[in-house]
Amino acid sequence: MRRPLSIHLVKGSHLEIIYKVVGRGTEKLAQVKVQEKIDVIGPLGHGYALTAGKTILVGGGTGIASLAFLAATLKNKYNQVPIVLIGARNKDELLCSEAFEKIGCTVKVATDDGSQGFHGLVTELFREMAAIFSTHPNMVYACGPLPMLRELVRLCRHFRIPCEVSLEEHMGCGVGACMGCVVKGTKGEYLRVCKDGPVFNANEVVL
Ligand SMILES: Cc1cc2nc3c(=O)[nH]c(=O)nc-3n(C[C@H](O)[C@H](O)[C@H](O)COP(=O)(O)OP(=O)(O)OC[C@H]3O[C@@H](n4cnc5c(N)ncnc54)[C@H](O)[C@@H]3O)c2cc1C
Ligand code: FES
């Protein structure tokens, strides 16, 4: 079976992905040689809904990979660059900060061990920043581990900031047929991450 990976950036006719080797599928992918052909389907599902004005992107771990293309698109469409908060366990696991800087974003980093940037969780950094915003952002976009998303959505509700989250679930078919990737919706329905998501408004899903 294929493995779900986000589009990191699009450059001409090239797509960039960033992935972490965690198991059999990503191990095999890491062994693919230059010029070797692999079978890919996509893009699948729904991406982030574009919003003009002040936006904040929050990414944890490899989740940050999915937000660079969004930042580039927001810049091209609205000529506005988001603030980006990146969380990682330590400075060696930090990803993508240069890609965001190249786009022109203001990048702030949080590491669990304090080896770079803010010492603590990226949600704690977000909370500190949200408390002192002169005007609240129009949207927070987030991708990362579930505990990070839960806390971020809680904070966004507290500060009354709209939020979209990109969810990661194990996937089978990737096209909405097998129901292998469902999450519970707030109206009691089941939503397929591959087809109805992976990006959802935070009010749509039970995290
Ligand atoms: C929409 C979407 C976008 C993603 N984008 C990226 C990306 O850009 N870069 C990246 O590195 N990873 C991304 N992932 C996660 C990636 O799909 C998994 O790491 C990958 O499928 C693991 O496959 P594997 O065969 O190497 O590992 P497996 O042998 O299948 O699993 C190894 C370990 O990873 C866990 N795992 C596997 N799949 C997932 C998953 N989907 N969510 C959470 N934990 C999982 C397993 O529980 C196990 O602990 C994304 C997932 C989704 C759903
Ligand atoms: S992976 Fe089959 S329905 Fe989502």
Instruction: Give pLDDT tens digits for 158-202.
Output: 999 999 999 999 999 999 999 999 999 999 999 999 999 999 999
CA distance 174 to 124: 34
What's the pLDDT tens digit per position in 96-152?
999 999 999 999 999 999 999 999 999 999 999 998 877 889 999 999 999 999 999
Ligand 1, atom 4: closest residue by C-alpha = 5
* Domains in the chain: ranges and CATH: 9-201 (3.40.50.80)
The CB of 1 under 6 Å from ligand 2? The reply is: no
Atom number in ligand 2 closest to CA 194: 4
Instruction: Give per-residue pLDDT as tens, 16-27.
Output: 999 999 999 999
Nearest residue (by CA) to ligand 1, atom 25, is 25
Q: Tokens 């999915």 — which residue?
A: 66
Q: What is the DSSP secondary structure assignment for residue 46, as one 8-state letter?
A: B
One-character DSSP codes across 183-207: EEBTTS-EEETTTT-BEEETTTB--
